[in-house]
Amino acid sequence: MSTPLPLRLPPRDNPWRQLAVSAAIGIFTLTQFLGADAPHQWWVWVLLAINVGLSLVRIVPDDRLSVVALRVNSGASVLAAAGLMGVDPHGVASLFGYFFAGHIGYRRPDYEGVGWAAAMSAAGALALLVGDHAGVIDVPWYVGALTGLPVFVGVANRNRVETALALQSAAVSAAAAAEATADAATLTERNRIARELHDVLAHSLAGVNLQLEAVDALLEAGATDRARSAVATAQGLVRAGMLEAGSAVRALREDSGPLGDRLRDTVATSAPAGTQLEVRGREQVVAARAADAVHRALQESLTNARKYAPGAAVQIELVFGTLSADAHADGGADTKTGTVTLRVTNHAAPQHVPSLTSGSGLGLLGMRERVREVDGTVRAGPVTGGDAVDGWRVEVTVPVGDSPSPIPGQDSR
């Protein structure tokens, strides 16, 4: 059988208070014998000195005494206290027995405390019986038998202190865990805001850059009116970008209206002229974060289309989960009930097909991260027509929410 590990106790009271208690008991016992002619009085002085000396061990810190030393001290204290009770005709020496018993219960483990309580009671009762039989004292034996009870008081006191320390430690751990959780949430929020700002700025600045490039070409060609129109469009993109940057964080937390309306507004301001949003299925209320992920995916896809296939026609579909692959001829992925899929395709063959490593890579990577956070999927790749690349498609599918419900007044289109 394995040996139980030594019990690690919480810090005890001030050691000087323990010294004062020991001195008080010794002085009180000593005053009972001054001027008295008690039999075997010299035994009283010797045992009193031994008891006081053993009681002083209590002021020694726990980590400076081994388990064996503590057990030896406990056993010596039981014998010395019982011996003093056996030669003390006044009965006041039993205070040492009570004092030692409480001390043992506090310092020793529970499984030892019961044994020490029985030993203290048995030794005290036996000492009083022997003393009474020898005519030295006249104290009832049960006074000694009760000296083991303070062991349980010491055990209870130790358990109380340990419980308080455990609660304190748990509170500290909980505070540390809460702080770590808050730090993680802050980091997550920073990443989300960074993605939002990237999407907003990349979307707006890319459009502005294209318009300014067009202005330069138009001015060289002498098309002043068209150049002014392009400048006005660039100014509108700047204003829209500033508004979106200011509301990017709020958009993460708020429901900004039906998803279809949000996407139509973006198509009207950012897609090539004549581009329409085609909605299939019955529009449903989409959770705020999922709707935001789809909206940002549309912005990123339009930005990439302008960057890699300027002037190309763009087809945009928003499919709510009632269609399957055989419902459309382009071979798109299945759309299941309870999901919404955004499919953005530019059909012109671009000179450079974008990939996850083109440019900074932050746009499509950010799109994947955002969609993954709402348990969605992203598919991006070239569209082939025969043996040639016929464009690029981005397809984003997200769950509409925990309890999807149709938007009143919205039917299949």
Neighbours of 205 (CB within 10 A): 14
SS3 assignment, position 77 = helix
* pLDDT, position 129: 83
pLDDT band per the 50, 70, 90 thresholds, residue 292 = confident
Map tokens 């950010």 to a residue: 366
Higher-confidence residue: 13 or 84?
84
Greater pLDDT, 316 or 406: 316
Mean model confidence pLDDT for the chain: 74
Q: Are 296 and 202 in contact (CB under 8 A)?
A: no
pLDDT confidence bin for 343, thresholds 50/70/90: very high
**How far apart (Å, rounded) are the C-alpha atoms in residues 194 and 186?**
12
**Band of residue 377 on the pLDDT scale cut at 50, 70, 90:** very high
Mean pLDDT, residues 245-260 taken together: 62
Out of 77-86, 250-259, 307-316, least confident range = 250-259
Higher pLDDT, 130 or 87: 130
Measure the CA–CA gap between 100 and 58, rounded to whole angstroms.
9
Model pLDDT for residues 144-190, shown as the tens digit of each residue: 788 888 888 888 888 888 888 888 889 889 988 988 888 887 787 67
pLDDT score for 316: 95
* 32-36, 47-51, 161-165, 332-336: which is most confident: 161-165
The pLDDT of residue 388 is: 58
Question: How confident is the model over 209-234, as pLDDT tens digits?
Answer: 777 878 888 888 888 888 888 788 77
User: Cβ distance 383 to 274 under 8 Å?
Assistant: no
Q: What is the mean pLDDT of residues 246-254?
A: 54
pLDDT for res 337: 60
Cβ count near 33 (within 10 Å): 18
Given a cut of 80, is residue 265 above it in pLDDT? yes
- Please say whether the beta carbons of 57 and 108 come within 8 A: no
Q: What is the pLDDT of residue 237?
A: 73
Alpha helices by DSSP H, 134-272: 141-145, 150-221, 224-253, 259-270
- 57-95: b or e for each residue (b if 16 or more CB lie within 10 Å)? bbeeeeeebeeeebeebbebbbbbbbbbbbbbbbbbbbb
Pick the closest to residue 74 from 55, 59, 93 (CA basis). Answer: 55
Q: Which amino acid is at 230?
A: A
Set out the domains of the chain in order of their start, with CATH numbers.
15-148 (no CATH), 178-254 (no CATH), 257-413 (3.30.565.10)
Amino acid identity for residue 104 in this structure: I
* Dihedral angle, C-alpha 218, 224, 228, 230, nearest 10 °: -20
Q: What is the pLDDT of residue 386?
A: 62
Does residue 337 or residue 52 have the better pLDDT?
A: 52
Contact 180, 130 (CB under 8 A): no
CA distance 163 to 288: 46
